[in-house]
A and B are shown apart, each in its own frame.
Chain A
């Protein structure tokens, strides 16, 4: 590639170029800038058909009958399928198999799939959908999550006895999971009133977090190709190939090896691709018609076609002594899971265990509820239950600081956790957590320039003001505010799940040069795992030429590209497989008589294409390998975790904790309620930087999604109906909404993790939202208890 390289290169951990710690170019970058990268919606086949989905127009209705005759008769239509055509299991689900492949008996949310068609053109398919007649008996929606949680007379979304029972989740009625946590005096039965009496300052507030959409840009899509063996090959954008396979195969009534998945190009994920969307439907249509079937959702359908971030209603109470010491805190959080469970139980597990954030509080009572309603299903989104709580506890800390007359950073430092602290589940933080230092660093980051005072001769630059070139102000009514936010996030899967990844690494001489091939099933969703896998192989094997095999189910599971876990888990698997390859190479070298017998295995390493000892090169890899192919497959498991006990919520449920601190500076037009974020700066501890440039991309992108939740992003749901399923009405941040961002990175290694690294993708999404809203409070004095902040809240129409 021509041009001057501009990326920074940090010192390498080995003498091999572009290893761990460097910023090599992403291997898929060139294809992505030329338009040649094949995303799931770009799949094309000579005789392919278009699949399309008929969705329920009602949030809650009984299905009395489905008449497909009109659709079947339409020329160009090749298949029209309903629940009766599902060959195997009628329901699927990530944790609880409660979601129909195609609705039967009842629909439980607006947009639920009822029938599917395959046709020769998308317009033919759309017309076929118009000719399917579904006879509905409309039922009252169950749209109030609090009623669903606490009113025993609330209608059931799922009838008793139709779903498997999970005793450990304290299920009853519409409750998917209730997780209590009790510590200190609360564990021995104390009431809030008893603790309240001992506090000098008490702050009690209700908060809400709206339903956020992941809004990845590449809509749900893929292509299913029927195979000669009676199976099917699916090219798909997903976050976890094997969990898709394990849900698709039973629904199709096929053995898992007959359902082969290959990762197609993924246009972003952020949690929205954890659940199935069109996977089973495309396979059913392909198997029925004997032709490849492509399904591509449009943007409106995408809003109905994936789960969203759980909206949360939270009541927090914090009591402190006059010196700022936190004495007790209580939380009731209700998370609206919508019609199907998706990841709701795990989201409740995070919201409860991390519901009080990274603060030392001796007495805590938490009740976290996840409920069924007939609202849009909610599940995974970046931050996963920790985002909602973080907005609540950080808002509480700010209110307390205000009441105590303390600087918000000082109050946080006074109560900050550190290595050796125990979170409210009793789990010890057995890795560095320099929270106090991070807060100080965030406070001491350089401040942006003050806003220039406009004069006749020096008019304001509209582009720097709230409202921008819409010319809504020249500075009058504009007030600057500063706010801080800090959050703690668990990394990897929790609560006893056997979380692992698999890597197959092959080393051979190709064209005279030692070359590594890295094969995993891990989903590259944009985060840059493809780059990191290559860096680890280079560092571990001392070769520069690394090929990344396409991700598919031809190798063992990699787990999900979720929970900030892939650098840790698939990175760990690649490292382990490379270590095995290295050991085989050393053994081979000994067999060939290339290694002096006095050299122990532990003295040998691979570097710069050679087998090397302390004294210097021992043998060139080409000579060691010759025509041999060394291939090793390894699984990497993180240390086991425990489930939370269902009464007091105690247990070592997490494997790693990660933290980010944000400082936001905003200018607010206090008359119009418009906000300009001036700066959004972060301090994050990542244990070990694998790729500085991609790390920055995670922090900046994660912070921007938090900015969206702070200022604009909410799916408006009215009586279970989405009011804004489009990018016209659901706004995500543009280049004008986002500020320049500065970050300071700390590298305090976690001794349990590969290279000491810490998952980095999610923490910035937690901390940026409360920091921005705190800054708006600082500028306006308004309480701002709803995220996203609404114009009406800023100008005071709601107070």
Chain B
């Protein structure tokens, strides 16, 4: 079958899709977007987290056909669009690198999308910088095996704090 949807601002089409394929498979194997990861493919680990119409979802649990006509945003779409050779990292991406929140990095793409969503729901909705407990609750569906989460929590708090400062400056 043919599947068409929008991903990271671009209209895409995949042909000859077997109806049993997941959105994750189509992204990774047919659209050249392997950033979303295939760690468990049963909706438990969060490594394949993407935005689907603005809501985070495990793309391994979404049949490819269900994405038809919808809007998908993946880890590849978090950074600002390329200008020349330099791609500007999103604040949450910068913070992950700076804080040492990345080790093997396989959980990182899903965590970044989930953390981006948390910052949107908190800082950008006027609810302020999430405290440690809020961050831990928000990320509880994303498994990491390397870090013990300490530096991930640090990174999310750092990015949220910077976003809050940016929002405050823009508002003043």
Contacts and interface: CB of A to CB of B under 8 A. Distances in A.
Contact of B151 (A214, A461, A697, A732): A697
Nearest to B107: A217
Most chain-A Cβ atoms within 10 A of its Cβ — which of B36, B44, B74, B149?
A: B149
19 contacts: A26-B97, A32-B97, A33-B102, A35-B34, A216-B106, A218-B37, A265-B105, A267-B106, A270-B145, A469-B137, A697-B148, A700-B149, A701-B145, A701-B147, A704-B149, A726-B40, A735-B135, A735-B140, A736-B136
Contacts of B91: 3
A738 interface: yes
Contacts of A33: 75, 89, 93-94, 96-97, 102, 105, 108-109, 112
Interface residues of B, number: 66
Contacts of B41: 298-299
Smallest CB-CB A-B distances: 10 pairs: A35-B35, A526-B104, A32-B105, A267-B106, A700-B148, A704-B148, A727-B44, A29-B97, A526-B103, A42-B34
Interface string A670-705: 000000000000000000000001101100111111
Contacts of B142: 734-735
Contacts of A298: 38, 40-41
A735 B144 CA distance: 8
Contacts of A26: 97, 100, 102
B117 interface: no
Nearest to B138: A735
A527 B146 CA distance: 8
Interface string A25-50: 11011101111111101101000000
Contacts of A2: 88-89, 94
B145 to A, nearest CB: 5
B145 A217 contact: yes
A703 B148 contact: yes
A35 B36 contact: yes
A268 B104 contact: yes
Interface string A117-130: 00001010000000
A455 interface: no
B29 interface: yes
Contact of A463 (B29, B137, B139): B137
Contact of B144 (A30, A217, A299): A217
Most chain-B Cβ atoms within 10 A of its Cβ — which of A265, A527, A738?
A: A738
A217 B47 contact: yes
A177 B135 CA distance: 48
B133 interface: yes
A36 B108 CA distance: 12
A736 B33 contact: no
B104 A525 contact: yes
A35 B44 contact: no
A3 B94 contact: yes
B76 A35 contact: yes
B14 interface: no
Given A701-B148, A733-B149, 13 more contacts: A2-B94, A23-B100, A26-B102, A33-B102, A39-B37, A298-B38, A463-B137, A469-B137, A526-B146, A728-B42, A735-B144, A736-B136, A738-B149
Given A35-B33, A36-B35, A735-B136, A28 B42 contact: no
Interface in B56-70: none
B145 A34 contact: no
Interface string A265-294: 111111000000000000000000000000
B133 A218 contact: no
Contacts of B35: 34-36
Interface in A706-759: 726-728, 732-736, 738, 740-741
Contact of B103 (A1, A25, A697, A733): A697
A214 B104 CA distance: 14
A265 B106 CA distance: 9
B104 A727 contact: no
A427 interface: no
Given A121-B18, A469-B137, A736-B136, A28 B100 contact: no
A464 interface: yes
Contacts of B88: 2
Contacts of B124: none
Interface in B13-45: 18, 20, 28-29, 32-42, 44-45
A611 interface: no
Contacts, number: 206
A32 B102 contact: yes
Contacts of B45: 217, 727
B12 interface: no
Interface in A89-118: none
B107 A735 contact: no
A230 interface: no
Given A2-B94, A3-B94, A35-B76, A734 B140 contact: yes
A44 B34 contact: yes
Nearest to A693: B100
B164 interface: no
B158 interface: yes
A32 B141 CA distance: 20
A181 interface: no
A602 interface: no
A637 to B, nearest CB: 28
Nearest to B153: A735
A298 B104 CA distance: 18
Contacts of A732: 143, 145
Contacts of A123: 18, 20
A258 B154 CA distance: 47
A6 interface: yes
A296 interface: yes
B130 to A, nearest CB: 12
Nearest to B28: A42
Contacts of A526: 103-105, 146
Contacts of B139: 734-735
B67 to A, nearest CB: 18
Contacts of A466: none
B152 interface: yes
Given A121-B18, A697-B103, A34 B37 contact: no
Nearest to A461: B133
Contacts of B108: 32-33
Contacts of B97: 1, 25-26, 29-30, 32-33
Contacts of B158: 6
Given A461-B133, A740-B150, A701 B74 contact: no
B118 to A, nearest CB: 12
B99 interface: yes
A469 B76 CA distance: 33
Nearest to A527: B103
A776 interface: no
Contacts of B132: 740
B79 interface: yes
A528 interface: yes
Given A217-B145, A268-B106, A694 B100 contact: yes
Nearest to A728: B44
Contact of B109 (A35, A268, A528, A726): A35
A5 interface: yes
Given A33-B108, A42-B34, A1 B89 contact: yes
A784 B32 CA distance: 50
A38 B136 CA distance: 28
A305 interface: no
Contacts of A697: 100, 103, 146-148, 151
A75 to B, nearest CB: 14
A704 B151 CA distance: 13
A604 B44 CA distance: 57
Contacts of A735: 135-136, 139-140, 142, 144, 149, 152-153
Contacts of B38: 41, 219, 296, 298
A697 B106 CA distance: 15
Nearest to A531: B100
A528 B162 CA distance: 26
